[in-house]
């Protein structure tokens, strides 16, 4: 049987737009072991004097997040920022209804913002637009960003960081369309709240940028855009790919790509209808593989009835416990690599994204008492942060080979997914290729580019191979120099990055 073939078409003059570096952001939530036992573990021999795990910090710096989101997520819908301010021993503990955990509030605003500074990542704070009030939101904004002689500023100036924090990005709510949120509501109600909160937040600080809640529902998004688009810089979408099969996991990002394009059409229509002339784009502030069905987070009546009646009163966790932690495998890494392709293909549409989440909870970084594991899903993003350039490249991929995938647009996936970036000034080109064939090599002909290149390959004998505490380096990138003057042989189920030096 002949080896499948593909052709990649590259013209460095054909670009998709400038890639906003904020699409490589990360997300932390007070949930499971993301914070406590993750980034923050006072008393651990691996923690510094402030309680931050230095091994986690080192790994996070390899991902180089240009923005860091907190405190949620679902946790944000019940979070009151004043609980996490002041001496740690004086902070009240609270029962977090979102995740059935006792929240000690030892990790609050100052701890988060200090951590973001250690990473060199501007902060994205998510406001409680459920049980919180606009007054509480304005006071948090003043605490972080104001110099006026008001009580919140005095409170900040009495703490560990008297200077302004100048938090640039603020989100108004989180998934308020879903029953799993505190006080979930209708699109009309939330759009009105977003418009009025956004108006007052901008009156208080016109330097900030605002994110509004979008949904996997065009009716919700149309209402939000029409009624609240005037105050928003981004409409958020959340994408989790929870198909368990090989082809299902790889199809997830492609379904998300189609939804991005659909939502972008709504944004354009709403801007024309409402005569909006400001920059309004899409924010994907939660994304990633979630390798199990999450039917409980749907608005289906039978789910709501069961969770609101038969499952009332779950046990309370008084200590951090593992929550939605997995050993991600190679196929999950291929899905994440493909997602980066989506971002490079659509920089005109998506200009902010944060992976859910950075540590332990669905995270590319997994902690143990002895150290960290860089999961398979860590590597595509780390490679991209090292080699990706500033402008998206319009890459063509032609092949007759493919695999069936019922959840993919059209019911199948091409054998090759390709994308890339370019530096228009130097001519340097970065290509990223995913061979989706589970069992076959792929011969890839590069049309329009060749010669010496750095190659980084992520692969393994088995697409189910994973990195674990016992075998932390089973799936790691390998790097070499090659001279491409013929077809490139891609191993089965692999991700290959190519970096070509500039020619001018």
Catalytic one among 29, 152, 247, 286? Answer: 286
Residue with tokens 């109600």: 189
29 is catalytic: no
Alpha-carbon gap, residue 25 to 491, rounded angstroms: 30
Which residue in 41, 110, 152, 175 is the catalytic one? 175
β-strand pairing of 234-241 with 478-484: unpaired
Backbone angles phi, psi at 299, to 5 degrees: -95, 25
Whether 175 is a known active-site residue: answer yes
- Could you give the CA distance from residue 87 to residue 65 in angstroms, rounded to a whole number? 29
Cβ proximity of 201 and 137 under 8 Å: yes
Which alpha helices (H) appear in 158-315, and where do they start and end? 187-204, 218-228, 246-274, 301-305
CB 379 within 8 A of CB 333: yes
Q: Residue 481, Cβ neighbours under 10 Å: how many?
A: 8
7 CB-near residues (< 8 Å, 6+ apart): 396, 397, 398, 399, 444, 445, 446, 447
* DSSP per position, 98-118: TTTEEE---S-HHHHHHHHHH
Q: Which helix (H) or strand (E) holds 371?
A: strand 371-374
Q: Kindly list the strands in the beta sheet with 15-18, ordered across the sheet, starting from the edge strand earlier in the chain.
A: 15-18, 391-393, 416-422, 429-435, 494-500, 451-458, 478-484
* Under 8 Å between Cβ of 377 and 59: no
90 burial type by CB count under 10 A (0-12 exposed, 13-18 middle, 19+ buried): exposed
DSSP structural state of residue 408:
S
Dihedrals phi, psi of 144, to nearest 5 degrees: -85, -35
What is the DSSP code string of 135-199?
Answer: HHHHHHHHHHH--SSSHHHHHHHTSS--S-----EEEE-S-TTSTTSTT---HHHHHHHHHHHHH
HSE-up of 249 (CA within 13 Å, CB side)?
24
- Give me 100's structure tokens: 């059935």
CA dihedral 88, 92, 95, 96 (to 10 degrees): -50
Question: DSSP class of residue 258?
Answer: H
Positions marked catalytic: 175, 286
């Amino acid at each position: 049987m002949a080896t499948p073939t593909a052709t990649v078409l590259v013209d460095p003059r054909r670009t998709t737009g400038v890639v906003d570096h904020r699409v490589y952001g990360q997300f932390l939530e007070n949930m499971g072991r993301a914070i406590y036992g993750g980034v923050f573990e006072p008393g651990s021999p691996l923690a510094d004097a402030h309680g931050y795990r230095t091994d986690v910090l080192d790994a996070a710096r390899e991902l180089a997040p240009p923005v860091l989101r907190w405190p949620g997520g679902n946790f944000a819908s019940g979070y009151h920022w004043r609980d996490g301010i002041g001496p740690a021993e004086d902070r009240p503990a609270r029962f977090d209804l979102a995740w059935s955990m006792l929240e000690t509030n030892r990790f609050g605003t100052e701890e988060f913002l200090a951590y973001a500074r250690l990473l060199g990542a501007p902060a994205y704070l998510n406001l409680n637009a459920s049980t919180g009030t606009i007054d509480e939101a304005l006071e948090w904004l003043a605490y972080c960003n104001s110099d006026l002689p008001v009580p919140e500023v005095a409170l900040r100036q009495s703490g560990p960081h008297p200077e302004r924090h100048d938090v640039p990005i603020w989100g108004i709510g989180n998934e308020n369309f879903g029953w799993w949120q505190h006080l979930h509501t209708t699109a009309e109600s939330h759009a009105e709240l977003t418009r009025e909160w956004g108006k007052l937040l901008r009156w208080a600080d016109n330097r900030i940028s605002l994110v509004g809640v979008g949904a996997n529902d065009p009716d919700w998004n149309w209402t939000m855009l029409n009624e609240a688009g005037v105050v928003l810089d981004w409409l958020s979408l959340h994408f989790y790919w929870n198909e368990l099969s090989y082809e299902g996991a790889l199809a997830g990002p492609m379904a998300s790509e189609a939804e991005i394009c659909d939502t972008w059409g709504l944004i354009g229509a709403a801007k024309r209808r409402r005569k909006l002339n400001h920059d309004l784009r899409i924010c994907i502030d939660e994304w990633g593989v979630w390798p199990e069905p999450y039917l409980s987070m749907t608005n289906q009546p039978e789910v709501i009835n069961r969770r609101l009646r038969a499952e009332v009163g779950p046990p309370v966790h008084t200590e951090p416990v593992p929550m939605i932690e997995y050993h991600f495998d190679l196929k999950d890494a291929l899905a994440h690599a493909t997602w980066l392709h989506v971002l490079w293909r659509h920089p005109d549409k998506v200009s902010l994204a944060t992976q859910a989440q950075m540590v332990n909870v669905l995270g590319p970084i997994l902690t143990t008492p002895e150290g960290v594991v860089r999961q398979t899903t860590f590597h595509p993003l780390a490679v991209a942060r090292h080699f990706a350039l500033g402008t998206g490249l319009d890459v063509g991929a032609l092949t007759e080979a493919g695999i069936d995938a019922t959840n993919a647009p059209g019911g199948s996936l091409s054998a090759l997914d390709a994308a890339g970036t370019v530096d228009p000034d130097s001519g340097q080109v970065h290509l990223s290729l995913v061979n989706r064939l589970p069992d076959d090599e792929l011969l890839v002909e590069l049309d329009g580019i060749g010669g010496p290149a750095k190659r980084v390959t992520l692969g393994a004998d088995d697409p189910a191979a994973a990195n674990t505490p016992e075998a932390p380096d089973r799936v790691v990138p390998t790097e070499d120099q090659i001279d491409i003057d013929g077809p490139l042989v891609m191993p089965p189920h692999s991700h290959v990055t190519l970096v070509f030096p500039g020619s001018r």
